[in-house]
Amino acid sequence: MRQQSRQVAHRPAGCFGFAFLAVLLAGSLSSCGLFQEATPPPPCPTILTHQDASTLTRFREGPGRDLIDVEFEAEIIDARGGCIHDIDDETRKGTVEVEFVIELEVARGPADTDREVSLGYFVAIPQFYPLPEGHKVFPTKVTFPGNRTRLTMVDGPVHLDIPLQAGQVGEDFTIVVGFDVTPEELDFNRQQARGGRP
């Protein structure tokens, strides 16, 4: 994906005529700024996976919470992408357009009967909390073909437009991704992180 700054480079007026003699006067053109190195684009927002919501274990309905009651397990493997900064030269305000994909690994459990599972993951920007536009859930379905019991898939792309105030760039923001878990599933994850202790 692209990462660049949309800024207009102005060529010095005194060097315009030399453009027609580029082959003979390459050194002069260089001194006039026609071959200046491009300014590197500002860094993109950091994308992090929420520690307590990076995995999802979903059990079938009912009180059972043993291995045979698991419908599926899922894990966020990676979130990767890029961004484009669109900044006004005068006000220094603008937007950073972020686009990324999420890589998931999903495994069927013994309680799955239809070879299809539904799940959702959230994308949040903590700097916008508690505004509703700072948090969004993306639902997705996974179908297991043939005799496959485990799949790695890429979902997306997710597109975000983050407004920038004067002086801000993408790296001033953090994007957090995680599964859309229920309170019980969140508690299960935390118990697993403690070694299965309640």
Who has greater pLDDT, 118 or 1? 118
Residue 178: pLDDT band with limits 50, 70, 90: very high
**pLDDT mean over 127-144:** 93
Total domains present in the chain: 2
Task: Count CB-CB contacts under 10 A for residue 57.
Answer: 20
* Same-domain check for residues 129 and 87: yes
Question: Is 131 part of a structural domain of the chain?
Answer: yes
Say what the pLDDT of residue 195 is: 80
What is the Rg, in whole angstroms, of the alpha carbon atoms belonging to the chain? 24
* Same-domain check for residues 114 and 132: yes
Q: What is the pLDDT of residues 6-45, one digit of tens each?
A: 432 223 333 333 333 333 334 444 455 555 567 788 899 9
* Same-domain check for residues 142 and 48: yes
* Same-domain check for residues 1 and 12: yes
Question: Is 107 part of a structural domain of the chain?
Answer: yes
- From the list 146, 11, 160, 10, the residue with the least C-alpha distance to 83 is 160
Question: Is 68 part of a structural domain of the chain?
Answer: yes
Question: Is 115 part of a structural domain of the chain?
Answer: yes
Domain span holding position 21:
1-39
Give percent of the chain with pLDDT exceeding 90: 67
* Same-domain check for residues 15 and 60: no
Question: Is 198 part of a structural domain of the chain?
Answer: no
* Same-domain check for residues 108 and 22: no
Average pLDDT, the chain: 83
* Same-domain check for residues 112 and 14: no
* Same-domain check for residues 85 and 25: no
* Same-domain check for residues 131 and 176: yes
Residue 123: pLDDT band with limits 50, 70, 90: very high
Question: Is 76 part of a structural domain of the chain?
Answer: yes
Q: What is the pLDDT of residues 50-94, one digit of tens each?
A: 999 999 999 999 998 999 999 999 999 999 999 999 998 899 999
Residue 176 pLDDT more than 50? yes
* Same-domain check for residues 105 and 182: yes
Say what the pLDDT of residue 41 is: 83
**Buried b / exposed e along 159-187 (16+ C-beta atoms within 10 A):** ebebebeeebbbebbebbbbbebeeebbe
Residue 8 tokens read as 């207009």
> In the chain, what is the straight-line distance between the N-terminal and C-terminal CA atoms, in Å?
43
* Same-domain check for residues 99 and 141: yes
